[in-house]
Chain A
Amino acid sequence: MATTEEIRTGLAEIVNEVAGIPTEDIQLDKSFTDDLDVDSLSMVEVVVAAEEKFSVKIPDDEVKNLKTVGDAVAYIERSQG
């Protein structure tokens, strides 16, 4: 079971890979679209990579609710439970 910080770090690596944003800028309060240059297509890539990395399922309907890094970390944390 990954901790909140481990999930944030893992997610930061994924966002860095997809959008090229430095990992240290990928903090819980950042918006994917407004702050991190992750558009709707790139968000699909982030979600699929996160599912694989954390062994969770993130349904398509849920993706629109994941506006910030914190939203995504919290969702992954709950799904692991």
Chain B
Amino acid sequence: MSTKVVITGLGATTPLGGDVASTWDGLLSGRTNAQVLTDEAFADLPARIAAPAAVDPGEVLSRVEARKLDRYEQFAMVAAREAWKDSGLADADVPGERIAVSLGSGIGGLISMLNVYDTLRTKGPRHVTPYTIPMIMPNGGAAWVGLDIGARASVQTPVAACASGNEAIRHGLDLIRSGKADVAVVGGAEAAIHPLPMAAFGAMMALSRRNDDPQHASRPFDKARDGFLLGEGGAVMVLESAEHAERRGARVYAEVAGAGASADGHHIVQPDPEGKGNAFAMREALTNARLAPHEVIHINAHATSTPAGDVAEAVGIRAVFGEAAQNVVVTAPKGALGHLLGAAGVAESIATVLALYHRVVPPTINLDNLDDEVGLDVAVEPRKLPEGQLAAINNSFGFGGHNLVIAFRTV
């Protein structure tokens, strides 16, 4: 019998709000912060729309902290502090040797790298800040968070593009199950609303070009979807062994019941249209969580609003769940949030956990005409969940063919 792992703290800063409560409220009410990027640096891009964070992390941190951190690290820090406070562990006197951090990003400190390069070219090497490396090293976000909470068991950085956040949850689950740590702070953060990544994603034809109607650009599973809407932010969960949480009388949101991982082995960025890789990861998550398909009542889909990806996911879900798929309430939060890349997995896992905790599934916005090839029950209004023990999964898939699925259960 493996160690049971539960969630005792949540933190998020997203396009919908600067904390978990406002983000959850935004999801339930179907808001979006999608907008046209008016800076002239975006003017010539094929996609000039995005969903910026509702609250600038530089305004939340102290000025001295903010100037040492890349924007993605700022998001990580803001979300981690909220989650840590929410868990009550700040006052619990847990030895640092029992606390781990796993926090990833899709792109990392790219904006700082570009800014410092501009400084190097215009002002010379003397003006390159000594904080450049901590800003651009991929493990920077995890390292700052680890320092902030005093984690000493291990501080690591999963990098799996848009699945990085769920890889962090899976990693934290393993760290606690294996006995390496009692507490794992897991998360993801991303800050890539900048002309370079926007031009690059645009060159891949990955972004929605609905420049004249940004609020309706991200439309997962809808017939008229044409690509994803870039968002930004950070999301962090505090995982804890159930025994440790119980001993200190912690509030528990849900159980992390299991995790599954796979690689498509198909193409560097295109999803396998047969959904074999994502199905493999979903099956593994169910097995790992000791769940039968009919026990899953809710799926928080990865669905980014790209033509190929959404259908490949639906094909995978139908293959795994068979007839039971018709009893599953699916939602795709990227309609409201946009795509938070490396932060998406944890932000959407938080939504999955809160759906179980509050027993209501937030709606998929902008879904006017369900694509005929989807064949799933996708919620377009908030959907109540029944009483009793419930289970849900969160899917996260990343460029590179990474598939990471986390299963959650009510407690």
Q: Residues of A with Cβ closer than 8 Å to B?
A: 18-20, 40-42, 44-45, 48, 51
Interface residues of B in 56-76 (CB under 8 A from A): 62-64, 67
Q: A41 and B130: CB pair below 8 A?
A: yes
Contacts of B67 in A (CB 8 A): 18
CA distance A42 to B129 in the complex (A): 9
Q: How far is the CB of B314 from chain A (nearest CB, A)?
A: 49
A-B contact pairs, 17 of them (CB 8 A): A18-B64, A18-B67, A19-B64, A20-B62, A20-B63, A20-B64, A40-B130, A41-B130, A41-B131, A42-B130, A44-B130, A45-B129, A45-B130, A45-B131, A48-B126, A48-B127, A51-B126
CA distance A41 to B128 in the complex (A): 11
Which 3 pairs of residues, A with B, have the shortest CB-CB distance? A20-B64, A41-B130, A44-B130
**Residues of chain B at interface, number, CB under 8 A:** 9
CA distance A42 to B131 in the complex (A): 8
Contacts of A40 in B (CB 8 A): 130
CA distance A19 to B63 in the complex (A): 9
Contacts of A19 in B (CB 8 A): 64
CA distance A40 to B131 in the complex (A): 11
With A20-B63, A40-B130, A51-B126 already in contact, 12 other A-B pairs whose C-beta atoms are closer than 8 Å: A18-B64, A18-B67, A20-B62, A20-B64, A41-B130, A41-B131, A42-B130, A44-B130, A45-B129, A45-B130, A45-B131, A48-B126
Q: Residues of B with Cβ closer than 8 Å to A?
A: 62-64, 67, 126-127, 129-131
Residue of B nearest to A21 (CB): B64
Q: How far is the CB of B137 from chain A (nearest CB, A)?
A: 14
Contacts of B131 in A (CB 8 A): 41, 45
Contacts of A18 in B (CB 8 A): 64, 67
* Of B63, B64, B67, B129, most A-chain CB atoms within 10 Å: B64
Residue of A nearest to B64 (CB): A20
CA distance A44 to B304 in the complex (A): 44
Q: How far is the CB of B303 from chain A (nearest CB, A)?
A: 43
Residue of A nearest to B126 (CB): A48
CA distance A38 to B64 in the complex (A): 11
CA distance A45 to B131 in the complex (A): 9
CA distance A44 to B131 in the complex (A): 10
Q: How far is the CB of A18 from chain B (nearest CB, A)?
A: 7
Q: How far is the CB of B354 from chain A (nearest CB, A)?
A: 36
Residue of B nearest to A51 (CB): B126
Q: How far is the CB of A60 from chain B (nearest CB, A)?
A: 10
Contacts of B126 in A (CB 8 A): 48, 51
Residue of A nearest to B131 (CB): A41
Contacts of A51 in B (CB 8 A): 126
Residue of A nearest to B127 (CB): A48
Q: How far is the CB of B66 from chain A (nearest CB, A)?
A: 10
CA distance A19 to B65 in the complex (A): 9
Residue of A nearest to B65 (CB): A20
Residue of B nearest to A37 (CB): B64
Contacts of B129 in A (CB 8 A): 45
Q: How far is the CB of B64 from chain A (nearest CB, A)?
A: 4
Q: How far is the CB of B18 from chain A (nearest CB, A)?
A: 22
Residue of A nearest to B62 (CB): A20
Contacts of B62 in A (CB 8 A): 20
Q: How far is the CB of A14 from chain B (nearest CB, A)?
A: 13
Q: How far is the CB of B126 from chain A (nearest CB, A)?
A: 6
Q: How far is the CB of B26 from chain A (nearest CB, A)?
A: 33
Contacts of B130 in A (CB 8 A): 40-42, 44-45
Q: How far is the CB of B371 from chain A (nearest CB, A)?
A: 52
Q: How far is the CB of B3 from chain A (nearest CB, A)?
A: 39
